């Protein structure tokens, strides 16, 4: 097979790659092709950076620091500018961030049509103002894609929980059969986690702030420009806050109380919500993977993935990808939390360390939310297999119930001894628990526990406790607000 740097058998050169460093998700199927992957790609980030620059000039025009025509000129230039991401990335090495070369390109683009307006590009701001604001725009746009997928997942799980409210299955603890439960209760639990994730991300989305502080968070440069244009008359003390409010309004982001160059609460809060969301979806995926095992067979994905070697395989691919994302996001979040310890008024390294982990976390959660919506919409449930597995232990799944029933007849200690002995015999010899228990009971015990009563106690489908009521309680929560009363 021809390689990327060796001609083919006919001597023709291999096809050229668009960019040798492009990352389109070849090794990241969790996020490849998702809407969030597109929104957080280099093109999406460049668009957000340009939007942030244009909004800054418009905000200065709104408070009298720039002509209205300058705001219009910079906005128009930003809309038509199409920087080369690869070239910009290489030029960014000189200053350590992409804003510096981008500002040069945008200034040149504005000057082509309005030389006077070019002086108002990026005026008074620092690179971190623009990159932080652009990052918040990227995050907001990503959240606007993730949240609907989570809502679709919650809606699908509601339908599943309603349909299987009373479908019995084996509850499992520490990988073993424990007591009976219902699939409706399991699905309602998944939905509760998804709603919790939605609520956390929605709250963070609303609070994502613009960033504007100037060189060291004092907004002093904007005062200097105002004083220079007013023949040295002092600028109004509230100039900075008014400009900050105008900038937030122009970007559509929240207005922060303070510049947050080294006060990284917005990033940390988002990191926590992303980690929670990945874990919540990961719980769903882990259960699907376990219950979709061949020997369990209680669930299956609507359309499983194939194998390169085994034609019979229908792998739970969506659950696999979600599980992979859930294992990666916490590590990325650790980097983002670590950047809270940022020195001075603007840091060296702590801020820079956030960029790629935050983007990766957004992409992973975006892909997982997409996959969860598809998984839950097509999830296939096999109640007959659930019932078959529920009976697999020969009745041991209801030993807890038997102890409780016999306690009233023999006392708790003796009841536990009898059931323990019967359970050991069932597990060891394969004897049905009904027969093993009958063998352990004396005449008085056997007389006190009629056959009809014993068979009723051994029926796992009648030992579901409050499962149905708990499903109803969970489904009474109709919004994504974790505080909604039920």
Residues annotated as catalytic are: 307, 346
Distance between CA atoms of 252 and 249, rounded to whole angstroms? Answer: 5
Distance CA 469, CA 477 (A): 13
Burial pattern 393-430, b for ≥16 Cβ within 10 A else e, equals bbbbbbbebbbebbeeebeeeebbebbeebbebbeeee
SS3 (DSSP) at 43:
helix
d(C-alpha 54, C-alpha 68), whole Å: 12
Q: 262 phi and psi, to 5 degrees? A: -120, 20
Q: Can you tell me the distance from the alpha carbon of 372 to that of 368, in angstroms, rounded to the nearest whole number? A: 6
In 323-416, the DSSP E strands lie at 380-381
CB-based burial of residue 207 (10 Å sphere; 0-12 exposed, 13-18 middle, 19+ buried)? middle
Q: How many CA atoms lie within 13 A of 66 on its CB side?
A: 28
In order, the DSSP letters of 104-141 are HHHHHHHHHH-HHHHTTTTTT--HHHHHHHHHHHHHHH
Quick one: tokens of 412?
A: 């708790």
Return the C-alpha torsion angle 330, 336, 340, 345, nearest 10: 180
Closest-CA residue to 330 (of 375, 389, 272): 272
Contact 336, 361 (CB under 8 A): yes
């Amino acid at each position: 097979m021809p390689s990327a740097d060796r001609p083919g058998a006919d001597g023709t050169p291999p096809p050229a790659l668009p960019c040798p460093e492009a990352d389109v998700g070849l090794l990241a199927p969790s996020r490849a092709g998702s809407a969030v992957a597109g929104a957080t790609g280099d093109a999406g980030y460049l668009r957000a950076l340009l939007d942030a620059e244009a909004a800054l000039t418009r905000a200065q025009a709104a408070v009298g620091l720039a002509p209205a025509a300058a705001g219009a000129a910079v906005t128009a230039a930003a809309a038509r500018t199409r920087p080369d991401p690869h070239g910009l990335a290489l030029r960014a090495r000189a200053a350590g961030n992409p804003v510096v070369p981008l500002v040069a390109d945008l200034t040149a683009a504005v000057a082509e049509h309005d030389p006077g307006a070019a002086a108002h590009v990026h005026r008074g701001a620092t690179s971190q103002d623009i990159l932080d604001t652009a990052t918040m725009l990227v995050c907001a746009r990503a959240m606007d894609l993730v949240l609907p997928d989570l809502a679709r997942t919650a809606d699908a799980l509601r339908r599943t929980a309603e349909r299987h409210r009373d479908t019995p299955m084996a509850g499992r603890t520490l990988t073993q059969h424990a007591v009976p439960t219902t699939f409706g209760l399991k699905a309602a639990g998944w939905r509760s986690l998804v709603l919790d994730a939605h609520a956390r991300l929605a709250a963070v989305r609303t609070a994502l702030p613009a960033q504007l502080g100037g060189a060291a968070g004092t907004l002093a440069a904007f005062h200097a420009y105002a004083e220079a244009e007013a023949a040295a008359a002092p600028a109004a003390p509230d100039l900075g806050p008014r400009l900050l409010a105008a900038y937030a309004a122009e970007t559509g982001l929240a207005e922060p109380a303070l510049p947050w160059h080294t006060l990284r609460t917005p990033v940390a809060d988002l990191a926590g919500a992303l980690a929670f969301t990945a874990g919540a979806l990961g719980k769903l995926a882990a259960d699907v993977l376990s219950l979709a095992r061949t020997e369990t067979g209680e669930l299956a994905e609507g359309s499983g993935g194939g194998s390169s070697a085994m034609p019979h395989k229908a792998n739970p691919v969506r659950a696999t990808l979600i599980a992979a994302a859930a294992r990666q996001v916490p590590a990325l979040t650790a980097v983002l939390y670590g950047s809270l310890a940022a020195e001075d008024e603007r840091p060296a390294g702590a801020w820079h360390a956030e960029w790629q982990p935050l983007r990766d976390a957004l992409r992973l959660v975006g892909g997982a939310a997409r996959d969860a919506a598809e998984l839950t919409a097509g999830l296939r449930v096999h109640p007959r297999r659930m019932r078959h597995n529920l009976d697999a232990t020969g009745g041991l799944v209801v030993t807890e119930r038997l102890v409780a029933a016999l306690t009233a007849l023999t006392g708790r200690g003796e009841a536990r001894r009898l059931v323990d002995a019967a359970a050991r015999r069932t597990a060891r010899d394969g004897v049905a628990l009904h027969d093993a228990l009958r063998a352990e009971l004396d005449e008085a015990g056997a007389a006190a526990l009629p056959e009809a009563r014993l068979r009723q106690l051994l029926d796992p489908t009648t030992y579901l406790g409050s499962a149905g009521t708990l499903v109803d309680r969970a489904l009474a929560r109709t919004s994504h607000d974790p505080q909604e009363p039920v």
